[in-house]
Amino acid sequence: MQRLLLSLFLLFSISAQANSELLPADKAFSFNAKVVDSNILLSWNIADGYYLYKEKIKISSDYPALLGAAKFPVAKIKNDEFFGKIGIYRHNTSVSVPILAGDSQEIELNVSFQGCADLGVCYPPITKSVRLKTEGVHKPSLVDGAFDVFTKAQEKMRSLVLGSSTISAEPLSADEAFAYSALPLDANTLRATWQVHPEYYLYHDKFSFTVSGADIEVVKLPKWQEKNDPYFGKTKIHKGEVSVDIVLKNIKSAKVSLRTKFQGCWLGGICYPPQEKNLDIVLPKTIKSVPVKTTKTQPETAKNASKQTLNEADKISVLLKKDNIWLILASFFGFGLLLSLTPCVFPMIPILSGIIVGQKGAVSTKKALAMSAVFVFSVSLTYALAGVLAGYFGENLQILLQTPAILALFSAVFVALAFSMFGFYDIQLPSALQNKIANISNKQESGNLLGVAIMGVLSALIVGPCVAPPLAGALIYIGQTGDALLGGLSLFVMSLGMGMPLLLIGTGVSKLPKAGGWMENIKAVFGVIMLAVAIYLLERIIPPLASLILWALLFTLSPIAMGAISFGKVASVWHRIFKGIGLLLLIYGILLWGLVARGGGDMLAPLSGYGVGSSAEKVHIAFEKIKSVADLERKLAEAQSNQVVILDFYADWCVSCKELERYVFSNPKVVLQMQNVVALQADVTANDEDDKALMKHFGIIGPPGILLFKNSIENRSQRIIGEIDAQGFLQHLNNSKQ
């Protein structure tokens, strides 16, 4: 009894002494907040003998969309008596929060934090509310965030090279380690999603869901992997992106509250306490749920249905989230080979070939291969960098360059190259600069390669801004995960696949004979092709009739200038063949003049308006133009129950959009099937703020893109990205009608 009283007395004495020596919380952790440039800087002056928990710093705002992810400094790891191994700060520390927009003049910030004294006393959580003026703060540009891209790329490269055994020096906060979000998947299904950091994992059996306003019918958890966990032994875990579908029944209101509980750990040895998230979610046009009878075949049916919920771009995005990097790169190289003869790549063939043919003197196979490799490498690098920036910042550089001034300037460059091919002049450096370069060995060849690289960069950005599912999938992945390295590397490898024909053709051009009149004829042919590329670019921004006149001029004047109707003696069989080809092109040009006389028509079918069937009316889907998200929502609300609504993203500079207009939306079968379908079209040629907002709302990186809605809900599995033929479009349309 005496020992017990003595122990209590000593404990009381120590506690009293500690309380007398403890500083007030505001002095122990002096807090300050201010706006510096385009960031909110949160700083703490921490008294000696005290420390602040990194993981206990929580930041929230009344306008969360205006703020980016907080940037924490590196913390020291402490084996804490309360929380185990955890990151702490001493003396002073600062946290930077980027401001993504400056539209609001003021922003209210709520910051909570917690710390302890070395004496062994832990303070309760402290919350500070501050109101800061953000007027005049500019929205960060692509350049402002470039260092973030390279930092993340370095971290990803380190993990790829050193493997998963390399762990960061200190843990992340729970919100950073397990980024959580929840959205309605359809009228009676919610999807909870976690973006789990590569060094972290979630426990399979620690998920818990509660919904207010509806009952949960079934929870669909993804496939798990087994881990020998230091805390629970052999257990089931999830890594990477984790998506859980919660199917609802007995829905009482359109607005439901989802409470989610989960728990995860860090590979560095820290297990986080159970986390809880609460979100209010509005269901789109909630329908009365019908009880589903449970059968033995139901799980398999649900499994098969889940496999069909992804469109092609989303499937490619999921592929990127797999662990096998070699499978990913091989797949993207294959995607590139499939895209190598599309309108995105085909115009680059005469560009590269013309550059090689236009070289002075003989071009060896080795030099032609080097020039082709530099061209392909520069195109691939440009695609990769532009893709990373587009996915990371939501700005598509290729779209930004499809302006009339840029296209006209680049067309003028090809016209200049064409007349150089015709022998009117030589494009070369000033003589004074040539003399300086000539004094340095091998510099002339390097100069040629530099010009080839520049032309490759410009060709990638201006000539071929086509959107395809692999590109869209990679940008979705970059936007969701911020993994700039793997996404960019995949696009780089895909572009190498697209460039394989360029390597082969560019090298083959070097085999053409260089001596005599033969070579002059070849150069003249490539000059005509350069003019065709110039018209190809101009027709994106000029009226269709003006474009038709330019093509008619090209196909009539070029054969005449090259002697197609000359009556002199023909030297060889090959000359006769080429002369015959020239006459055919001249006849085609005359037919185009017939279309010009009629006020326009289809270049690929110049005789379609003559003879039998000439009175038949040309069919085309009658699109109704919309400009904004509000316009779309109004049209969706006006649509009848179960009526399908399609939204087509179009632009004048989009070559693939023109193909869809010509071969899909003018197909009689398609027009017939679209009779009871609401057809909307968003013309994003101007790429103004409304266009960007509409594309960003649906995660569209650029046209072409076709979205299908029913009962105001998009059927994302039937979303069409890139080109498609009439039969494929009808299949997507019929699937959406079911």
Q: What is the CATH number of the domain that holds 233?
A: 2.60.40.1250
**Are residues 378 and 331 part of one domain?**
yes
* 3-state SS assignment for residue 716: helix
The dihedrals phi and psi of 535, each to the nearest 5 degrees, come to -65, -40
179 within domain boundaries = yes
- Type of residue found at 28: A
Helix (H) or strand (E) holding 444: helix 443-458
Residues 192 and 265 in one domain: yes
Instruction: Please state the domain count of the chain.
Output: 5
155 and 105 in a common domain: no
Q: What angle do CA 321, 322, 325 make, to 5 degrees?
A: 105
Domain membership of residue 618 (yes or no) is no
Q: State phi, psi for 581 to the nearest 5 degrees.
A: -60, -40
pLDDT at 518: 60
Residue 155's domain spans which residues? 150-167+310-518
> For residue 501, how many C-alpha atoms fall within 13 Å in the half-sphere facing its CB?
16
Alpha helices in 31-168 (DSSP H): 146-162
pLDDT digits (tens, 9 = 90+) for 527-572: 888 888 888 888 878 888 888 999 889 889 888 887 777 766 656 6
**Residues 99 and 196 placed together within one structural domain of the fold:** no
- 600 and 727 in a single domain? The answer is no
Q: What is the pTM of this model?
A: 0.54
CA–CA separation, 360 and 123 (whole Å): 79
Which pLDDT does position 231 carry in this prediction? 58
Q: Within the chain, which residues score under 50 in pLDDT?
A: 1-19, 141-144, 146-147, 150-151, 154-155, 157-166, 286-308, 429-430, 433-447, 515, 612-616
Residue where a domain terminates, one of 518, 551, 569: 518
In the prediction, which pLDDT does 105 show? Answer: 63
What is the pLDDT, as a whole number, of residue 179?
A: 86
| Distance separating alpha carbons of residues 382 and 728, to the nearest angstrom | 31
Domain final residue pick, 261, 291, 321:
291
Find out whether 626 and 686 touch, Cβ atoms under 8 Å.
no
25, 43: one domain = yes
Query: What is the CATH number for 700?
Result: 3.40.30.10
Same domain assignment for residues 285 and 314: no
DSSP annotation of 640 reads P
Whether residue 682 lies inside any domain: the answer is yes
Residue 282: inside a domain: yes
pLDDT tens-place string over residues 434-443: 444 344 333 4
The answer to whether residue 138 sits within a structural domain is no
- Asked if residue 357 is part of any domain, the answer here is yes
Same domain? 397 vs 452? yes
| 324 lies in the same domain as 455 | yes
> What count of other Cβ atoms lies within 10 Å of the Cβ of residue 726?
17
Look at residue 298 and tell me if it is in a domain: no
For residues 128 and 38, membership in a common domain is answered with yes
Question: What pLDDT, on the 0 to 100 scale, is given for residue 297?
Answer: 31
Residue 197 confidence (pLDDT):
85
Residue 273: per-residue pLDDT: 86
**pLDDT tens-digit series, residues 323-332:** 567 887 888 8
User: Does residue 418 share a domain with residue 319?
Assistant: yes
Say if CB 202 and CB 222 are below 8 A apart: no
Shared domain check, 489 and 361: yes
Residue written as token pair 């609802």: 248
Contact 625, 681 (CB under 8 A): yes
Last residue of a domain, one of 264, 291, 318: 291
Dist CA 628 CA 652 (whole Å): 18
> Which residue(s) pair with 127 in the sheet?
112
Is residue 257 in some structural domain? yes
